[in-house]
A and B are shown apart, each in its own frame.
Chain A
């Protein structure tokens, strides 16, 4: 075992792994984290604790991960390259490991100008760091864990034992380069990969086939990203505006049909679309798990932690394995 984390144990057992997402609050109170952790506990194997997503200040991922851990839910601490240099990153990694955190997902992080595009103000005037990139951060974690060495070469008395993760956008531009991009992450030391939300399973299959041909899939665990759709409008938005997300027309049509069944009753339309969204999610989970090399799913229910219990149960993935 590299880290001994629950996620690593489930993946090693060969059973499909489930990860979910827990977004830290824009608050100094632990209550939200505790509430969400209670909703997710028992219905996923580990939960991603996002690191100031969309470059908006929220409770730090390390603190929220420690709170989550204290609630008996295993955290996957996300760490972006945007806000810390290699000194701060490694210091935080040592601290996180000391607090009992065993999974870390390395990501570039949304650019600080990106946050300003939404409803929140964010900090578009901030100075970003990007001392190292994602692939280099993965390598730093591996070197710390396996060699007991800091990036600069100094030794670490008790190396941090992390299960190392990275993200992958299989349909990002340029799509033919993405399998190689994945290979670099795996070569650098990524033990698991969570993908951007996948709706087009045929296209995903072809990208996974390319990854398999590069000899990557026996060296890492791919967790297919599933974003729980809530409405036809959300699917259309994801398709049109979110980088690397492609939604087949047929899924948008299904949601529209659910909406139309409500014949103008807004409340009912919302409810029917959400129900259809759950059905779509369960189907996508099953389709993803059929694809060779997919070792689990990463379910993103945006501000919908309560849905994870139902989805896991309806997908026949409950109870979660205890290994």
Chain B
């Protein structure tokens, strides 16, 4: 899932204090699972901002709302009229949600109420860890299902550096060394010898370094293109 973390209230307040009619808008998918941006969190944040406005003596209304997925037009469509009736949408969806909402809300700006952190997994309740770099060129079959792109602080592809200390990373004694985990896992799978092969320089252009990416599912995209009011047509 995409893991997010709400921005500090002070930062949010600085962003929104000059607006009069605000809606805090959540997303009930990824960021709800990580307790940062679902409808419940939207209600709480709206309350906190109303209190803050009272404390600061600022005349402001703050409502809340949420949809199932801010990153899909069909889920935000039914909320657009209500959103546009405000002079600010404070989205607590991930960055994808903020981007998509922004493209549809006309003259109403959309601000981010949370920081999109990473593609993560649940370590234990309330503890999320970054596990995927979204590099567009997955090699997890070579590394025992442990991503060296983000779980190794140096994104090393050919084994551990010299900074490993008691199985931990040099940047933090609490942080597991990804390569120690990879080596243990490959031993368990009886595939350690796969790590002896040299991995060549990676083609990062398939990731975020190659410019903005698109994924087009041909058979679905073709149908959509033929129908009136497709996403692309609306955007242009």
Contacts and interface: CB of A to CB of B under 8 A. Distances in A.
A204 interface: no
Interface string B158-193: 111111111101111000010010011000000010
Interface string A227-263: 0000000000000010110000000000000000000
B156 interface: yes
B168 to A, nearest CB: 8
Nearest to A183: B196
A110 interface: yes
A184 B196 contact: yes
Contacts of B196: 180, 183-184
Interface stretch (A8-16, A132-140, A293-301, A313-321): A132-140
Interface stretch (B34-42, B53-61, B197-205): B197-205
Contacts of A196: 162
Contacts of A130: 154-156
A21 to B, nearest CB: 15
Contacts of B195: 177, 180
Contacts of B155: 130, 133
A184 B159 contact: yes
B170 A177 contact: no
Nearest to B161: A108
A113 B165 CA distance: 15
A136 B171 contact: no
B153 interface: yes
Contacts of B177: 173
A109 B162 CA distance: 9
A169 B158 contact: no
17 contacts: A108-B156, A130-B154, A130-B155, A132-B201, A132-B202, A139-B198, A151-B201, A173-B166, A173-B167, A173-B177, A174-B167, A174-B184, A180-B159, A241-B165, A243-B164, A243-B170, A244-B164
Interface of B: 153-167, 169-172, 177, 180, 183-184, 192, 195-196, 198-202, 204
Interface of A: 81-82, 86, 108-111, 113-114, 128, 130-136, 139-140, 151, 167-169, 172-174, 177, 180-181, 183-184, 187-188, 196, 241, 243-244
Given A111-B163, A136-B158, 10 more contacts: A109-B154, A113-B153, A114-B170, A133-B154, A135-B159, A140-B201, A173-B165, A173-B177, A174-B160, A244-B165
